[in-house]
Structures are given as structure tokens and as C-alpha cells.
């Protein structure tokens, strides 16, 4: 659905454009139909710039990309017709009603049945009763949902969302997240930029971590595993330091460490190897209370990844 090759954007700034900012560098990416792809990165990582390039708003300095099979740069108008975008700060015409706001965009997107489509979305958002009210009187969460509806009026093949919940209070953010989840459930292809890790974890099928360059791409689970391997925690009644050495000596154990009364073991394949470790521990006389998987929050992975990148530079 979205394919990019070597997509790069360099901004020229300063007098006579002498200084250069590399906003996005050599991005290779592929997003499948029906996938919810998370684009994760700190401020200034190039997320917005990427979305602007992919929606034909700004031209790449180098590289190529296609969206829905349409070549970027050659068929930009066609691309704009078939993508929806929730911009980073999606403004509304404050003095105009919700209905008018949506109608304007529906007709710019060449929607066939403008009033019908506008009614459908206003009803879906529960805003039908307030359709005549100026958008200026709406809460932030409502406005954000309205902005998402505006991006969906023409039934786009891909929906780009640039930080859909930033600047919202937790309640409004939940409202928007639930809405995105309902879109996901209906199989829409969505490209979400975010620096909120929980959000990425909850909503996305795959995540790309970006900081100018693409650092890692995978499913949230695989990202966890790839960086840390799989770790299993054995909760013991009492921990004897000798046992750590015994477990470490097993051929499939990559690492075993004692953390208070727990034994943390890194394994390639826990499903296969856990029973063997349990047997071994029982043999040396350990009382196993509980065995579990040590899950890393995406946040740890993310910070770790960014740290690696810093070190490299």
C-alpha cells in the first residue's frame, strides 16, 4: 500500500539556503494493506516530514515512493484523492458549524453524496445534534474526532495520522484511541505517527522507530524480543547463588542472573527449554513458586534503541 525507497528530505535554511537540515534520510519502508503502522520517534525525528512527503504536500529531495500503487511526484493529485490525513495540528474553521466544516471538505474531495456522507460521520461521532454549532464551541476531543472524520469523508485507502492524541487530556485521548481502534477493526490501512509508546503498542501491527533514519521495524512483540531475546523469570522461595551457576552452565541458556529472590534467564526458545530448567532447579533443591515471562515495555526498548543510535554517532 505504501512503499518507499531511499526517501530523503533535506531542508535548506538560512541565508541563500546555505545550511541544510536532513529531516528524513534514506527511508526504506513498506506498509501492507489493512495494516496499522506506527511511526515512532522523538520530536524532530522527521515523522511529520515523512507524512507530508507521502501525501504529496512537499516534494522529496531524493528517492521515490508509491502510495496505493500511485507514483509520488507524478500522480500527486491522484494520491491526495485516495489518502486521508490528520495533520499535526488539524485546524477547523472555528466560526463555521461542524456540518459546514465537513461539507467543505467533502466537496473538495469530490464526494458523491456530500450531505449523506456528512450526516453519516456526524451521527457516528454522536455530533448530529450539535451539527449547527460552531466548531469553536467543541471540546478538544470532539474536535479531534471531527478532524479524523474530515480525513475519512472520501473513504481513503490509507489514513495518515500525525500524533492523533498529542495535546489531548487522558479522557479525550482515550476517546480518540477508541475511535482509531474501531477503524482498525474495520480493516483500514493506517499510518500513525506518535511519540506515545503505549499508543503504538496498543494500536499498531508493526512499528518503525525513526530518527532521521529508520532504526528498526517490526511488530511490537518482535521488537521486544529482538532487542532483549526472551527472558524467563523463576520466582523461588530462596535463592542460592550456586544455582545460578548451574543454570548458566546449561547449553541453551544465554545468560542467567539473580535479582533478589528471582532468577532471570535469557533463552532463545523458552517453550522448548523451560521444562529442562525447571527439572534442573528441582534437582538441586530449589522451591519454584512461579515461572513467568519477563516483558519489556516498549519504552525500555525504544530508549535503548535511541541510546544505541547516539552511541553510534
Toward other proteins, which CB reaches closer, 56 or 270? 56
* Phi, psi (degrees; rounded to nearest 5) at 65: -155, 155
CB of 151 to ligand ADP, least distance (A): 17
* Of 21, 22, 58, 280, the one binding other proteins by CB under 8 A: 58
Residues in 151-170 at the binding interface with other proteins, rule: CB under 8 A: 151
252 binds other proteins (CB under 8 A): no
137 binds other proteins (CB under 8 A): no
Toward Mg ion, which CB reaches closer, 8 or 50? 50
CB of 14 to other proteins, least distance (A): 14
Give the interface segment with Mg ion, choosing from 39-47, 139-147, 208-216, 249-257 (CB under 5 A).
39-47
Give the interface segment with other proteins, choosing from 84-92, 178-186, 266-274, 293-301 (CB under 8 A).
84-92
48 binds Mg ion (CB under 5 A): yes
Question: d(Cα 285, Cα 47) in Å, to the nearest integer?
Answer: 54
CB of 53 to other proteins, least distance (A): 10
21 binds, among Mg ion, other proteins, ligand ADP, none (CB under 5 to 8 A by kind): ligand ADP
230 binds ligand ADP (CB under 6 A): no
Contacts to other proteins by CB under 8 A: 52, 55-59, 77, 80-81, 83, 85, 87-96, 100, 104-105, 107-110, 147, 150-151
Chain positions contacting ligand ADP, by CB under 6 A: 11, 13, 21, 23, 41, 43-49
Amino acid at each position: 500500500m505504501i512503499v518507499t525507497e531511499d526517501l530523503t528530505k533535506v531542508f535548506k535554511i538560512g541565508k541563500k539556503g546555505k545550511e541544510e537540515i536532513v529531516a528524513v534520510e534514506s527511508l526504506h519502508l513498506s506498509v501492507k494493506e489493512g495494516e496499522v503502522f506506527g511511526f515512532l520517534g522523538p520530536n524532530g525525528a522527521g515523522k511529520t516530514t515523512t507524512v507530508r512527503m507521502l501525501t504529496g504536500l512537499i516534494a522529496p529531495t531524493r528517492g521515490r515512493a508509491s502510495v496505493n500503487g500511485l507514483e509520488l511526484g507524478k500522480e500527486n493529485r491522484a494520491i491526495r484523492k485516495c489518502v486521508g490525513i490528520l495533520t499535526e495540528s488539524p485546524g477547523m474553521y472555528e466560526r463555521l458549524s461542524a456540518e459546514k466544516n465537513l461539507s467543505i471538505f467533502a466537496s473538495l474531495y469530490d464526494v458523491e453524496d456530500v450531505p449523506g456522507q456528512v450526516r453519516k460521520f456526524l451521527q457516528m461521532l454522536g455530533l448530529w445534534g450539535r451539527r449547527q454549532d460552531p466548531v469553536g464551541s467543541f471540546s478538544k476531543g470532539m474536535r479531534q474526532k471531527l478532524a479524523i472524520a474530515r480525513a475519512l469523508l472520501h473513504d481513503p485507502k490509507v489514513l495518515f495520522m500525525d500524533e492523533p492524541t498529542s495535546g489531548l487530556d487522558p479522557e479525550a485521548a482515550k476517546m480518540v484511541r477508541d475511535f482509531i481502534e474501531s477503524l482498525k477493526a474495520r480493516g483500514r490501512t493506517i499510518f500513525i505517527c506518535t511519540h506515545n509508546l503505549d499508543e503504538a503498542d496498543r494500536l499498531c501491527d508493526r512499528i518503525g522507530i525513526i530518527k532521521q533514519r529508520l532504526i528498526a521495524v517490526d511488530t511490537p512483540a518482535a521488537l521486544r524480543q529482538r532487542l532483549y531475546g526472551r527472558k524467563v523469570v523463576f520466582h523461588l522461595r530462596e535463592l542460592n547463588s550456586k544455582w545460578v551457576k548451574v543454570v548458566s552452565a546449561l547449553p541453551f541458556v544465554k545468560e542467567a542472573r539473580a535479582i533478589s529472590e528471582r532468577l532471570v534467564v535469557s533463552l532463545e526458545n523458552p517453550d522448548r527449554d523451560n521444562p529442562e530448567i525447571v527439572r534442573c532447579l528441582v534437582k538441586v533443591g530449589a522451591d519454584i513458586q512461579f515461572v513467568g515471562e519477563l516483558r519489556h515495555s516498549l519504552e525500555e526498548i525504544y530508549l535503548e534503541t535511541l541510546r544505541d543510535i547516539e552511541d553510534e554517532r
